A and B are shown apart, each in its own frame.
Chain A
Amino acid sequence: GNSVTQMEGPVTLSEEAFLTINCTYTATGYPSLFWYVQYPGEGLQLLLKATKADDKGSNKGFEATYRKETTSFHLEKGSVQVSDSAVYFCARPGAGSYQLTFGKGTKLSVIP
């Protein structure tokens, strides 16, 4: 099926630390891949996306590279801030392509 698997949380980092949140996807075709972010009490916001192999999505200092060889789309940021504290979701189009299939989310807490 069309699924994504992301690392379990929660993740707690100190400010300015390096962040990696792992995400792998099932390799049915070449789907678009997404990272969404959910700040406390809010809905999901699209953080970045990549539509084909070797594409790099980037936004707000976050990056993720579409790796066909390893079926991965890991989220990285070189120096996290307290304001990055949120839940991060990896996603891909689901069956029929009309909806998204999400990972279970990774909660990130950044402490000063």
Chain B
Amino acid sequence: NAGVTQTPKFQVLKTGQSMTLQCAQDMNHEYMSWYRQDPGMGLRLIHYSVGAGITDQGEVPNGYNVSRSTTEDFPLRLLSAAPSQTSVYFCASSYGTGRYGYTFGSGTRLTVV
């Protein structure tokens, strides 16, 4: 029972570099989301998807891209990393709308220097 798997767990980037945070779920969930967690800010929604081929922006989308080519995978791309993107990133999935709650991955801790 893998649930939601995120890789890598830790990453250090230099300013201007790009990278992709991977997220995969094996529960056949339609809904997937990316959140970032910062001290004193709680969790903020970056992007979300309601199914393969369908994505939309959340509260803080700037500097990030997503795509959803399959039900299982929902990668998050940082186009040109900035120190302000230093954060812990969580991927989450749900079989229904937010009404049913989400299952979270264990997170990726990203540092941009």
Residues on A facing B (Cβ under 8 Å):
31-32, 34, 36, 42-46, 49, 51, 89, 91-94, 97-100, 102-105
Contact = CB atoms under 8 A, between A and B. Distances in A.
B40 A44 contact: no
A45 B43 CA distance: 14
Contacts, number: 62
B97 interface: yes
Contacts of B97: 93, 97-98
Interface residues of B, number: 25
Contact of A43 (B31, B33, B45, B90): B90
Contacts of A43: 4, 90, 104-107
B74 interface: no
Contacts of B50: 98
Contacts of B87: none
B101 A46 contact: yes
A94 B98 contact: yes
Interface in B2-48: 4, 31, 33, 40-43, 45, 48
A5 B102 CA distance: 19
B41 A32 contact: no
A63 to B, nearest CB: 17
Nearest to B40: A104
Given A99-B48, A99-B58, A34 B101 contact: yes
A98 B106 contact: no
A36 B42 CA distance: 12
A36 B43 CA distance: 12
A97 B107 CA distance: 23
A91 B98 CA distance: 10
B33 A44 contact: no
Contacts of A91: 101
A90 to B, nearest CB: 10
A34 B100 CA distance: 9
